[in-house]
Structure 1
C-alpha cells in the first residue's frame, strides 16, 4: 500500500481528494497547514484558519484517517509574505498563489510529507498528471483539469519534474458539481462549504492595510492620460532585428506628468496595480478610470478612461533568462529558436495564440492579439493542447 499525505485545507476539494485516494486503496494521512496567524488584516471570517482546521479534522475523523497540523507560518512569512512586500515595493504585482504552490505546498510541505514516509503528496487541485516516455525515462505532464470552468493548472505552472513525480491530483478528472455530489453522499462537513477566496491561506485581505504593515502610505498624484495622446500615434518603425522589435513591443511607455492632467490623489503608488479600476476614488469621468501605469520611484499613478484605452494594451512581454521555467525540460528552447503556443497572463484568461522567442538574455512572448494589462511580477504560462509546458515571471 502506497502512503499518500493529503494537504487537507478544510475545503470540499481536498476532502474529496482524500476520500477518493482511500477508495483507491492508498494509505492516507491528512495534514493541515497552518500558515497565517494575523487576523487583523483579513476581511470578515472568509478564511479563519481555526474553522478550516476544525473542518479538516472532522473530515479526517469521518474518513478514518490519521490527522495532524503543521505550523508553516514562519516559512510562509519568509517565502511568500516578505516576497510580496518586496515585489509591491518595486511596483510589481506578485502572484502569491503560484508561489505558494512552488515554495510551500510542493516544497516545504512535501518535504514534511516525505519525512513521514509518504510516497506521494496529494492536493485538491483541478488538474491532472500525465506520464510519457522520453528517451527511455519517465517524463511527467501537467494537464488541464477536466472541468474547464475550474482548471487550476495555471497555479501549478512553476512545478518541477521532481515535484510532479511525487504529486497526485485525485479530483482532476471531475467537475466541481461532481465533487460536491460525492461530498454530500459521504456526508462530509465540507460538502456545502463556500470556496475560499483571496490569498492562498490568508483569505480575503484588505490589500492596502495588509501592505501598510511594511510599506508606509505616501501621498501622490493621479494623472489621466488622454487616449488621443501623441505617444499612442506611433509611426511604423524600422527595426534592425527581431529582438529589437520585440523589445520595443514589450517595453512599457515612459509616461511623464506633462502628458496628462491631475485628477486626484492616492496614498502610495505601490498599493496599486496595472489594469486596476477600483479603489482610485476619482469620479466625474465619462468612463471609469483604469490604471495604465504606476511609477513607484516618483509615486505617480497614470490612468486612462475605459477598458479600451490604448495605454492598457501591449503585444509582447519579456521574461528574464533566470525566470524562464520549463515543466517539460525536453521541450526547452535554445537561443534563436521559436515555438508556437497558447498562453495566458492570468488565471481564468482564455488561452491566447502566442509565439515564444528565446534569446541569449531571456525570452519574449509575442501575442497574435493585443493583451490588456500585462502586469510585471505576474506569471505567463504556455501550453500545447491541454498540457501546460512552461511559465515565467513577466519582467
Structure 2
C-alpha cells in the first residue's frame, strides 16, 4: 500500500513509520505544521507540534530513507480545534482538544489530502489496535472494522481515536498497537538509530505554549469578574471568568474561608449566562447517569443498545460498568452507570467499550 506516515517529531511516530517501511509499504513522511505561534518552541512549549519537532521529524525520515514533506494545516487547526476549544469554554462546556484534533485534522484534513494524492492509508504513532480496513490490507473497507484498546493499557489512546469513525479508521494504520510498553518502543528507536529515542513525551495542550490554560482562556475570552456561589445561592467570593474553572476542580478557587462543616469545596457547575461558578461538597459531583449527542457508532448495538458494558469519560479515566441505550435517529446515547462517576461535565467525550474484557470500542459521543 501507499502509506502516508504522519511524523510528529516524537519517538512514537518515528517507530510507527519505521515499522510501516519494514512491512513493505511505499511510505512517504509528512509533518503537520499546526501552529504559527512563534512561542511554540521546545524550550517554551510542553505540547507537541513545536518548531523543533519539524526538524526532528525530518531527521527521522532521512534515517529511514523516505521522502519528507511539511504540510501547513495551521488554518484548519485554528478553525477546527482552537476556535472550537474557545467556543466550548465560552458555552460553559469542557472540551478535549486532542479528540477534536484527531477527528477534524488528523482524520479529516490530513486524510483528505492523502487520498487526493493517491495514498491508501495514513500511519500514526497512536497506541491502539485495529482489525479490518487498512490494518487487514483492505483500505477503505468498513466491513469487519473494529477499534481496540492498545496492548499497553498505560499508553492506550483508543479514547481519543473513537471519534474518528469507521470511514477514517478504515484508512488508518497504528503500528504501535501491539507494543508492550513505551520503554520497548524507545529501545526499538535506539536500535534503529533514531535520534528521538530519548526525547521526552509531549503533554498538555499543544497550542498553549506555556501550559497556562487559564491564562490562555483569559487572554482569548477576556476577564470579567463574577461570583463564586454555594448551591443555595450564597455569594462566597469572586473570580475573573467562569471559563477558568472545570467541574470537579478543587484547587485554585480563591475562597478565603472554609465551608461551615470544614470540608473542601469543589466546582459543581459553571453558569455562562450569569458568569457564576457554583461550588459545593464532593457528593454533589456524583452522577449515576449521563446523556450524550454527536453519536459515532463503531459497532452495531444489540437491539437498542448494550448491557453490561463500560464507559470512560477521560483519556485515562476509570472505566465504569453501565447499561447504554442508543437513539440512532437522534444521534444520542443514554448511559445508566452502575457505579457513580465524579465530576462529569458537558463537552467531555464518552466512549463505550465492550467485548473481550471491555477492550473493543463500541461508540463515542459528547456529554450534554
Mark yes or no: TM-score above 0.5: yes
Contact 1:342 1:353 in 2 (8 A): yes
What's 1:239 paired with? none
Deviation at 1:202, TM superposition (A): 5.3
| Correspondence 1:195 to 2:165 | no
Alignment of 1:20-35 (within 5 A): 20-35=19-34
The one of 235, 251, 256 equivalent to 1:278 is 251
Name the counterpart of 1:302.
278
| Superposition CA RMSD, Å | 2.3
- Cα gap change, 1:211 to 1:381, in 2 (>3 Å): same
Single out whichever of 357-366 and 339-348 deviates more from structure 2. Answer: 357-366
Shift of 1:333: 5.1
Is residue 2:70 matched to residue 1:69? yes
Report the equivalent of 2:339. Answer: 369
Size of the aligned set, in residue pairs, is 351
Partner of 2:14: 15
Asked whether the equivalents of residues 45 and 211 of structure 2 are also in contact (C-alpha less than 8 Å), the reply is: no
* CA–CA distance in structure 1, aligned partners of residues 303 and 225 of structure 2: 45
1:379 aligns with 2:316: no
Moved more, 118-127 or 279-288: 279-288
Cα pair distance change 1:193/1:347, threshold 3 Å: same
Q: 1:54 maps to what in 2?
A: 55
* Alpha-carbon distance in structure 1 between the residues aligned to 2:252 and 2:142: 52
Q: Using the TM superposition, give the Cα deviation of residue 25 of structure 1 relative to its aligned residue in structure 2, in angstroms.
A: 1.2
How far residue 21 of structure 1 moved from its aligned partner, in angstroms, is 1.0
User: Looking at CA atoms only, which structure, 1 or 2, has the larger radius of gyration?
Assistant: 1
Cα distance change on mapping 1:35 and 1:41 into 2, 3 Å: closer
The Cα shift of 1:340 comes to 3.0
How much has 1:284 moved relative to structure 2? Answer: 4.5
Supply the distance in 1 between the matched residues of 2:313 and 2:105 (Cα, whole angstroms): 22
Name the CA shift for 1:204/1:316 in 2 (closer, same or farther; >3 Å): farther
Distance 1:192 1:338, change over 3 A: closer
In the alignment, structure 1 residue 343 sits paired with structure 2 residue 316 = no
Contact 2:40 2:207 in 1 (8 A): no
Other-structure match for 1:292: 268
Report the Cα distance in structure 1 between the residues aligned to 2:309 and 2:298, rounded to whole angstroms. Answer: 14
When structure 1 is superposed on structure 2, of 288-297 and 99-108 the one drifting more is 288-297
Q: Please report the TM-score for the alignment, with normalisation by the length of structure 1.
A: 0.83
Deviations 1:71-122 (A, max 9, x none): 0011111111111111111100111111110110011001112223211101
CA–CA separation in structure 2 for the residues paired with 1:76 and 1:209: 20
Return the alpha-carbon distance in structure 1 between the equivalents of residues 108 and 29 of structure 2. 17
Give SS of 2:85's match. Answer: helix
Q: What's the CA shift string for 1:226-275, capped at 9, x where partnerless?
A: xxxxxxxxxxxxxxxxxxxxxxxxxxxxxxxxx15433211011221101
| Aligned counterparts of 1:68 and 1:41: Cα–Cα separation in 2 | 20
Decide which of 294, 298, 305 is 1:327's aligned counterpart.
298
Please tell me whether the aligned partners of residues 217 and 268 of structure 1 are also in contact (alpha carbons under 8 angstroms). yes
Distance 1:24 1:221, change over 3 A: same
Q: Secondary structure at the match of 1:6?
A: strand
Change (3 A) 1:39 1:119: same
In the alignment, the residues of structure 2 paired with residue 155 and residue 224 of structure 1 have an alpha-carbon distance, to the nearest angstrom, of 34
Partner residue of 2:212 out of 206, 212, 226: 206
SS at match of 1:126: coil
Paired residues of 2:46 and 2:211 also in contact (CA < 8 A): no
Matched with 1:99 is 100
Secondary structure of the corresponding residue to residue 223 of structure 2: coil
2:128/2:150 contact within 8 Å kept: yes
Q: Conserved in 2, the CA contact under 8 Å of 1:46 and 1:203?
A: yes
SS at match of 1:303: strand
Secondary structure of residue in 2 paired with 1:173: coil
Match of 1:263 among 236, 240, 264: 236
Q: Per the alignment, in what secondary structure is the counterpart of residue 187 of structure 1?
A: coil
Runs (5+) with no aligned partner, structure 1 = 226-258
